[in-house]
Chain A
């Protein structure tokens, strides 16, 4: 039996939130104290009684000091807005000392397997902050429920700590995969006389037309207006790109196994990669994922909406494109490779 498994976890009846473990050193200390106690009692040697008294005094003081060292500490965890699965992301842990006593050697663990972070000193009513890299292996809703703050201070006989609830819930976006652009789906052209290029605020003039309510007065074409005797405005072409819809197929084939699930995750990653790529080119991107349709748009808020939809995408329900899609929208279909 390894000595490590003999570490006792103690419960303090009047404070269930504090975690106490007796370390190997603590066990050895207690054992030595017992041996000295037996020796002193059996021999009547007052030198041993002196040593025994001191060992017990140290044990008591160590217990009190170690308990006080982990009390009165507040923990906050702050992270960036976007977190992608599989990519280390820098969070900030902030410890605040609410008490009037200085704290020493506080160790912080965000997850069970992570190495601890050391906060050597926390002055009274002061705080300290450190960065920690966290890795979320999977997309979706992930939560850091609590952070463990513990310490072996002062002399490592006990390791005491508290679990501080932080309730840091994040939507972890899928890790974008860089893949070759699939060709957009061919759509029947509908000749309705409307230029496939979109209207916008670019320099190129698409056409001249009679002004309608809401037109920008700066677009008035004064020569034509004078010539025709009615307000004529310039309709400019958009310098922005196309409108795109990324269609992630979520239908799960019958009998699909874990391989398909892995392939689906790959497909989600590809879809995320496509979305981010198109958005970075200034194109308006929408998403069809399951039965959720996000119309094409752009901007940080829209980016977050699309990535969230991808983060929460589940295989199973297959949706369809809305019928009223305006023409000129390119559709990129992404599916799990069989």
Chain B
């Protein structure tokens, strides 16, 4: 299975949300990483065939997805970035409803619903009304609906929003488990969501593709750009505007800094092993959310 994003450009009036975006995906987890407003959601909607791009096309095994109709919907699982629920529905009823909309056979729907509820750890809450669910539980239910039709292409837009650390780990493991025979597209601005599970990280900024590579290669490219050093208050004050500092730990009068820089910083420092969050800071020049 091969999904090709070919010259996608998406314009809204005078704003260009995505510009000339090209990449190719096959089975595995792909992490679309970029800051808020980078164009990730627009791209996810184009990939889910909810938005028609201004220019370009998305090809699944050489077929334009916009011409595939139900054939594409049959193999698509989609979790939008923000969504609501019918609060009076129970989790079970909600999933039965989505199963009906996805065209799942009535005879298999109850079993499938139980299966996905089990996957997202909501089985014991299946008869509870969604209105009484926490934000994390709602998010898990959202993930469950995306999995109902056993999709070959799973598009998850900011799936870990609202999940606590334990739920995030569980989610990461789940994505790793199910990614074997499918394309999983995961959009996020949280590095740790994709650090250990993504086959490739796709960096997106201002609607443009910055680069595509495996996390290992990205880390390799970051070699020699991460430093750890001890600075005095004055040294820190003189450096903080000119250097990207990813971590600050106060140790008495001294400050331990983790610095992202191509060149050795002007304090006593040693080269550090890079992490994906260093890369985020390096490319996006923003604070890292963990």
Q: Do A and B come from one complex?
A: no
Binding site for A on B (CB under 8 A): none
